[in-house]
Structure 1
Amino acid sequence: MTRKLDGSKLVIATHNAGKLREISALLAPFGVDCVSAGELGLPEPEETGTTFVENALLKAHAAAKAAGLPALADDSGLSVTALGGRPGVYTADWAERQWFEGEPGRDWYMAMGKVEGLLSEQGPDVDRSCWFTSVLAIAWPEGDEAIYEGRVDGTFSWPPRGTMGFGYDPVFVPQGQNVSFAQLTVAEKQAMSHRADAFEKLVADQFGDAAHG
């Protein structure tokens, strides 16, 4: 039996404004009041896990403990078939600027370029199939936890297209579409994204009948 969310306040363990917006919109119909770890001034824990599940749990437990409230963490990433599933769990690390690349921070255009560079090295006929994984973890201050996993398959497309979304969205064309995630509206992306897939499972488990009301 999974423990259920019974209060209206939930900490979203992220400092990423795009991710907070997406998660808040998905939870809004259930009267959940989302506040981010960033807004609460909580530190970002070191992501030392080697899987999406480990990292999601690590972030959720750290935020729940620090805030004394249930916390939801998402660990997600892009895996490229021809790169043996990389960048995968290191998706965000590929966007980290090195000391010689200017101010610290994340540069997603640079990260997308790294993937494209590695694919180009394999020639024009390289397999460009890829997928996004999203693992959602809920943790309670007392140590309880729940895990939900989602996935969406697509193609790595170059050059980047669109200004919506965040991260690798401009180069990800979902199966059956001819536009990138960054060219879709929030509602269109939510209808098919990896995070939406994981959320569907979370909502069915956590909110049950309310999800169908």
Structure 2
Amino acid sequence: MQHSLSRIVIASNNAGKLAEIGKLLAPLGIEVVTQASLGVTEADEPHMTFVENALAKARHASLATGLPALADDSGICVNALQGAPGVLSARYAGEPRSDKRNNRKLVEALHGQSDHRAYYYCVIILLRHGQDPQPVIIEDTWHGEIIAEPKGQGGFGYDPHFFLPKLGKTAAELSMEEKNKISHRGKALARLVQILAGNEKMPV
């Protein structure tokens, strides 16, 4: 897929995410703008799966702006909890959203469990227009395990409790550059860049 995109609306109001995506797409001559800067409100995310929520966000932004739209949905899935927190990762402990309370609830939920394996999951969806019948869908994962005591000052979400056995560190102990090379979102975005550059076939 050789892209013909010059401007994409990002279906997120997360400044960090916009900067990360903008940096990756800039060499391809693609300008990214936030939906908020165009007066678009956040979409509802009522679905049980990441892909449905990402698609809802991308379609909402594309229909409202008339631009191609990029959305992602991601979270952490814990084996012993049948995939929870999953799509509820950001609001696992309820509203208002709080990383600290979410992490505390997760650690408490795993108390007494022998299996602490978990993985971050990310799905990225690109719609060329609001009625696009064949969205580009890219997914990736990042495997680790949950530890009770937080380590590291970086990252966000569950990163201080997400331990990577091969590295002997948590995600919060990695530099941003290290994290972006191996994280679920970093790997998915890298594949998106390859697809837009025409170096990789579009997933079907």
| Shorter-chain TM-score range | 0.7 to 0.9
**How big is the shift at 1:5?**
3.8
Residue 49 (structure 1) shift:
1.6
1:89 counterpart (87, 90, 94): 87
Superposition deviation, residue 22 in structure 1 = 2.7
Q: Who is 2:164 aligned against?
A: 174
Q: 1:119 aligns with which of 110, 113, 120?
A: 110
Runs of 5+ unmatched residues, structure 2 = none
Number of equivalences: 198
Once the two structures are TM-superposed, the CA of residue 204 in structure 1 deviates from its matched residue by 2.5
TM-score (norm 1): 0.84
Equivalent position of 1:100 in the other structure = none
Please report the RMSD computed on the Cα atoms of aligned residues, expressed in angstroms: 2.0
Q: In 1, distance between residues paired with 2:165 and 2:138?
A: 22
1:169-207 per-position Cα deviation (integer Å, ceiling 9, x unaligned): 221123412222122111100110001221233223221
Q: Which amino acid aligns with 2:116?
A: R
The SS at the match of 1:201 is helix
Counterpart Cα distance in 2 of 1:146 and 1:32: 16
Moved over 4 A (4+): none
Structure 2 residue corresponding to 1:132, chosen from 120, 126, 131: 120
| CA 1:61–1:93: 2 relative to 1, 3 Å | same
- Unmatched 5+ residue regions in structure 1? 98-104
- What is the Cα deviation at residue 81 of structure 1? 0.9
Match of 2:153 in 1: 163
> Match of 1:13?
11
Partner of 2:136: 146
- State TM-score, norm by structure 2: 0.88
Letter in 1 for 2:31: D
Amino acid at match of 1:202: L
Q: Residue 102 of structure 1 aligns with which residue?
A: none
